[in-house]
Structure 1
Amino acid sequence: MVPDKIRIKDIAEHSGVSVGTVDRVLHNRPNVSKAAREKVEKTLKELDYHPNMYASALAYNKSYTFHCIIPKHESEAYWEEIEEGAMSAAEHRRDFHINIKIKYYKRFSSNTFVKVTEESLKENPDGVIIVPSKLDLTRKFTDELHERNIPFVFLDSYMPDLKPLAFYGQDSFCSGYFAGKMLMLIASNEKEIMLMKQMKDGNVASKQQENRETGFRHYMRDHFPNVTITEVNLPLDEEREKYDDILEEFFSTHHNVHHCITFNSKAHLVGEFLLRSNRRNVQIMGYDMVSKNADCLRQGSISFLIAQHAYMQGFSCIESLFEAIVLKKEVTPVNYMPIEILTRENIDFYRRTQL
């Protein structure tokens, strides 16, 4: 008998049980005796039966709700592309009634992360995508998800001890190391590099940015130990005029700095200042192909951008939940995004929605 032509009725007759019993075994439902389950499983093995999970999920006609818990963000930012990718994946699987609910927390506010995660638990979603906050706060949430058998995927920052279903993001250390190597191809004769950061209460926005900086500093220590790395903090939520004051003071007193780097998506804050102040002998390197960064890259104030494929990450997170929850498939646990470098010459050929 051809495996894909085997009917539940055939399995029932071969096993000597009812069609309903076979259905409960195939869908791992309760109220099946040990003897009956063993008969059905023996028949499945003998007939080399492999259920069509795709067709079965369609026939089940259930709806699914996935929560996506991410930082509150500006328009056209990295996180907006994450959202677009997630929504596109839901549309791609619209026959399976996948619903996405985006929930936002403030990046440096533990209280808002706790509030949002508590709201999520009250709504009892089928799966969750999480951009982690502090380890202890994230662990409290994920422990409860494990208790309820709700699969979750980590995005942006990887915390393997919390045992997520999957992770999507760059290998942050390698990414920072690579960034240092690319920067020093054009800055090998420099004695000082400016590192632009955005911090609050002494903390950067994410573990990912910390790991990138660690990778970068490792590269510099290994290959350019005599180059000074000078940090400049542009505080969050400040008006642009204050940024201009900070940057003007820095460049006016550091005439030998011609190259800068940042590990967030805000390289344009420095890039736009360089254009406004007509400083054509300074460039910055940063992350993420958001529109403001792309404009600065085309105009020459940004030298390189490292792309993270945010759209792809959002899309793939939903796909992993879909495959694990709906199709009952195993998924790849660790998924590192490509580390791609964009320049003025190739940025217009970069397809952020390509999968």
Structure 2
Amino acid sequence: MNKLPERIRIKDIAHLANVSVGTVDRVIHGRSGVSEASKKRVEEILKQLDYQPNMYASALASNKKYFFICLLPQHLKGEYWTAIEAGIYEAVTTYSDFNTSVKINYYDPYDYHSFVNASKTILAEEPDGVMVAPTAPQYTKGFTAQLKMLDIPYIFIDSKIEDTPPLAFFGQNSRQSGYFAARMLMLLAREEKEIVIFKKIHEGIVGSNQQESREIGFKQYMKEYHPLCKILELDLHAERNDEDNEMLDDFFRSHPNVNTGITFNSKVYIIGEYMQTRKKRKFNLIGYDLLERNVSCLKEGSISFLIAQQPELQGFNGIKALCDHLIFKKDVTRINYMPIDLLTAETIEYYHSK
């Protein structure tokens, strides 16, 4: 074999394999139109040279455009999903040299038909990749089956669906998170005979797979270690926030000795602010996510612990995974669990300022 230059070029490989430059390019990028004999010769040369194409330079030179769509639950500014969006837009800015763009569509988390309609709209737009926060499995699977049929890679964020393998998943291990939350809550509750789970629910729909999985993990811990502790539940109306305080008043009138509770969604501030208003100083409360109102309640002492899960990083890494797969042809790790971060009034400033 002739001495090769330090930087291996496609034309060098073509010369060694006695084929055209176009043939080498087709083999490297997995395109058709190459005979088996030529493909085998090129692949042997690539293996001998341990050739690694410069995908970064190739992507820049290709001028191909990449269009992604994200499907997220409807939310108000400042809520949990706002941080996910910030991570998404940061990723698009990071990869802007590669002609990436993103569109965010929304669905009503308490209306499964809203998800179905939103998914149909996305399929009609034929994106290069999709990132989705799943709803109930029976509705999510219909969407992902069509994405698979169209060879559109998809990312799950926040929660995943069993037996439906995405390109990648970014989120907490929800059951483990709930199990851990129960352990922390019972350190506060000690020997109390009753605790309460606060929910936001609409016509029987919790609105989040992740919340349901957390509750399963929570109850598993309670069954194993505190089987005699009674778990009460208070269902607050998801779409009638003005009734929250009245419902909480009724609950505590009926259960005056309950001093410990948890919610598995990001709106624990509803309970925390109620405790401040009613001057209930000795209630142990755990919730999720670093919304500003949650953090304020944590600092004021009406929330005992917050469990965080780095939503900005989830949004960023979801788009990054699509770019790695589509643009740079890299292998992507399928399951990516986020840390389960337990925060207190004493530690929040060191975390929240990141």
Give the structure-2-normalised TM-score: 0.96
The structure 1 segments of at least 4 consecutive aligned residues displaced by more than 3 Å after TM superposition are 1-4
| Within-5 A mapping of 1:102-113 | 102-113=104-115
Structure 1 regions of 5+ residues with no counterpart?
none
In structure 2, distance between residues paired with 1:343 and 1:337: 19
In structure 1, distance between residues paired with 2:257 and 2:277: 19
- Give the aligned residue type for 1:6: I
Matched-pair contact (CA < 8 Å) for 1:176–1:212:
yes
Find the counterpart in structure 1 of residue 22 from structure 2.
20
CA RMSD, Structure 1 to Structure 2 (Å)? 1.5
Find the counterpart in structure 1 of residue 41 from structure 2.
39
| Within-5 A mapping of 1:258-277 | 258-277=259-278
CA-CA distance at 1:57 after TM superposition: 1.3
In structure 2, distance between residues paired with 1:255 and 1:3: 81
Matched-pair contact (CA < 8 Å) for 1:283–1:300:
no
Find the counterpart in structure 2 of residue 340 from structure 1.
341
DSSP 3-state at the match of 2:237 = coil
| Within-5 A mapping of 1:305-316 | 305-316=306-317
CA-CA distance at 1:4 after TM superposition: 6.3
- Give the aligned residue type for 2:84: I
Find the counterpart in structure 2 of residue 169 from structure 1.
171
- Give the aligned residue type for 1:253: S
C-alpha distance 2-141 of structure 1, shift in aligned 2 (>3 A): farther
- Give the aligned residue type for 1:323: D
Matched-pair contact (CA < 8 Å) for 1:53–1:328:
yes
In structure 1, distance between residues paired with 2:259 and 2:208: 27
Find the counterpart in structure 1 of residue 79 from structure 2.
77
Matched-pair contact (CA < 8 Å) for 2:263–2:288:
yes
CA-CA distance at 1:3 after TM superposition: 8.3
In structure 2, distance between residues paired with 1:100 and 1:283: 42
- Give the aligned residue type for 1:276: T
Matched-pair contact (CA < 8 Å) for 1:65–1:98:
yes
Find the counterpart in structure 2 of residue 190 from structure 1.
192
Whether 1:122 and 2:124 are equivalent positions in the alignment is yes
Matched-pair contact (CA < 8 Å) for 2:202–2:239:
no
DSSP 3-state at the match of 1:158 = coil
In structure 1, distance between residues paired with 2:218 and 2:246: 27
Query: In the comparison of the two structures, how many residue pairs are matched?
Result: 352
- Give the aligned residue type for 1:259: T
DSSP 3-state at the match of 2:68 = strand
CA-CA distance at 1:94 after TM superposition: 1.2
**Residues 17-76 of structure 1: CA deviation (Å, up to 9, x unaligned):** 111211222222222222221221121122221111122111212110111101001111
DSSP 3-state at the match of 1:230 = strand
Find the counterpart in structure 1 of residue 7 from structure 2.
5
Give the structure-1-normalised TM-score: 0.96
Whether 1:140 and 2:142 are equivalent positions in the alignment is yes
CA-CA distance at 1:270 after TM superposition: 0.7
In structure 2, distance between residues paired with 1:29 and 1:4: 27
Q: Out of 19-28 and 168-177, give the one that drifted further.
A: 19-28
In structure 2, distance between residues paired with 1:40 and 1:246: 72
In structure 1, distance between residues paired with 2:5 and 2:303: 58
CA-CA distance at 1:136 after TM superposition: 2.0
**Residues 287-331 of structure 1: CA deviation (Å, up to 9, x unaligned):** 011111001001010000000111111111111111111111111
